[in-house]
Amino acid sequence: MQILIAFIVGAAVGLGIHFQLHQRLTRGVVLAPMIGAVSAGLAWAILTWVGVGIDTPWPWLAALIVPIVVTYPAIVAISRLRVAHDAREKTRLGIG
């Protein structure tokens, strides 16, 4: 049941990353929180499946650190790809 806390923490971290980075209009507001939630939940699940108990700090730290490590570069890359794609499309269509 504590995995829900990992999902919520990951989504909160993702939301913070979404509003911290530039080019917010090039991606949906749900993308970063979803990446954060999935990565936190996956890290929590993997650690518990390997036998790390929830009474240790490792699943809790993983639920906080893994979404930062995964979401930040993913959102930066997705934003850059979207901006480059939009520029190519504008050039191709001749609109500016």
pLDDT attached to residue 60: 95
- What's the rounded Cα separation, in Å, for the pair 38 and 43? 8
Q: Kindly report the pTM of this predicted structure.
A: 0.92
- Angstrom distance (rounded) from CA 22 to CA 38: 22
Q: Of the candidates 36, 45, 58, 31, which has an alpha carbon nearest to the alpha carbon of residue 3?
A: 45
pLDDT in tens, 28-42: 999 999 999 999 999
Tens of pLDDT, residue by residue over 39-60, are 999 999 999 999 999 999 999 9
The three-state (H, E, C) secondary structure of 53-69, written as one string = CCCCCHHHHHHHHHHHH
